[in-house]
């Protein structure tokens, strides 16, 4: 999924930059993976 909205892309980049600066990219990746799995498996969401 890609967004053409520059606000969405800017927000995503800002969050990525913060996670990278804090050395938390692995943690963020894991949390996003778990969140995606939850969305895939929970029909009500």
| pLDDT tens-place string over residues 4-18 | 899 999 999 999 999
Confidence of residue 44 (pLDDT cuts 50, 70, 90): confident
The dihedral sign for the CA sequence 13, 14, 20, 24: negative
What is the spatial distance between Cα 24 and Cα 18, in angstroms, rounded to a whole number?
8
Dihedral over alpha carbons 7, 12, 15, 16 (to 10 degrees): -140
Domain range annotation of the chain: 7-43
Query: pTM of the full predicted structure?
Result: 0.66
Measured from the Cβ of residue 19, the count of other Cβ atoms closer than 10 Å reads: 16
């Amino acid at each position: 999924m890609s967004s053409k909205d520059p606000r969405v892309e800017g927000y995503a980049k800002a969050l990525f930059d913060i996670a990278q600066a804090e050395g938390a990219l692995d943690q963020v990746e894991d949390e996003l993976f778990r969140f995606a799995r939850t969305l895939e498996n929970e029909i009500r969401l």
